A = this chain, B = another copy of it.
Amino acid sequence: MDLPNNTIDRVCRIFGCLESLEERQVDFVSSKDLAQAIGTTNDTIRKDISLLGVTGYTRKGYSVVSLKKELGQTLKLDKKRKACIVGLGRLGTALLDYERFKQDGFEIVAGFDNSINKLERIKTHIDVFAISEMENIIAQKSIELGIITVPANNAQEVADELIKAGVSGILNFSPEKIVVPKEIIYLDMDFTSALRFIAARFITNKLRKSRVA
């Protein structure tokens, strides 16, 4: 399938909205509501959804349950995926126990760090290992996603090892920029860049909110 990147981004956010609407037992949602929630226009939402081949109801909107199901199936967002976290500093350990991931279909099944000290000290029900064991564990547990929370200056090294070990996607929280082969899906979550993006828009303020993260 060939979807615009922005559409993929929005659909992922829409999916999150649908989850919470479902929890609140809302039956229908309009393109306008979704647009407001994720910060875009109703036209765009309708285009996005129609690109995915899902259809709504005149005068009512989209069925929350079935839209969520369709989007989930098409983009395989309903599939459980295993992830690991490399770098068990404060951010890493916070993410290790971020209950939300599991409920959203991402299971953190391993943590890695090089400090024996940290490995011993950490209190969590998730297994933690030395980085040297990464290749084994990732293969053994069929981990698809790697989350990097090491401090800068060895993020690239960690990324290389994750890739060698076989992950298909990487989410990078470290401030260092990482280069990956093009078959690896990579997303940068550098906090400073995010704050700068906001600060820069104080100057060049346009109204759109999209920023394919």
Residues of A near any B CB (own CB < 8 A): 1-3, 5, 8-9, 11-13, 15-17, 20, 36-39, 74-77, 79, 81, 83, 89-91, 93-95, 97-98, 100-101, 104, 106, 144-145, 152, 168-171, 175-177, 179, 182-183, 185-213
User: What 19 additional pairs, Cβ within 8 angstroms, besides A16-B192, A37-B177, A77-B199?
Assistant: A12-B200, A13-B190, A13-B193, A15-B193, A16-B175, A16-B177, A39-B188, A100-B175, A100-B192, A101-B191, A145-B199, A169-B198, A169-B199, A186-B209, A187-B211, A188-B213, A189-B189, A189-B213, A212-B212
Sampled A-B contacts (9; CB under 8 Å): A39-B188, A75-B200, A76-B202, A79-B199, A91-B94, A95-B191, A169-B198, A169-B202, A182-B207
Does the CB pair B145–A198 fall under 8 Å? yes
**Contact A188/B20 with A195-B171, A199-B75, A211-B5 known, Cβ cut-off 8 Å:** no
Does the CB pair B193–A16 fall under 8 Å? yes
Choose among A2, A175, A176, A198 the residue with the greatest number of B CB atoms under 10 Å from its CB: A198
Does the CB pair B195–A145 fall under 8 Å? yes
Does the CB pair A206–B145 fall under 8 Å? no
Residues of B close to A213: CB separation below 8 A? 188-189, 193-194, 197, 211-213
CA–CA, A98 to B187, complex, Å? 20
Q: For residue A93, which residue of chain B has the nearest CB?
A: B90
Residues of B close to A194: CB separation below 8 A? 171, 187, 189, 213
Does the CB pair B206–A5 fall under 8 Å? yes
CA–CA, A196 to B7, complex, Å? 13
CA–CA, A208 to B9, complex, Å? 12
Choose among A2, A74, A81, A195 the residue with the greatest number of B CB atoms under 10 Å from its CB: A195
Does the CB pair B186–A39 fall under 8 Å? yes
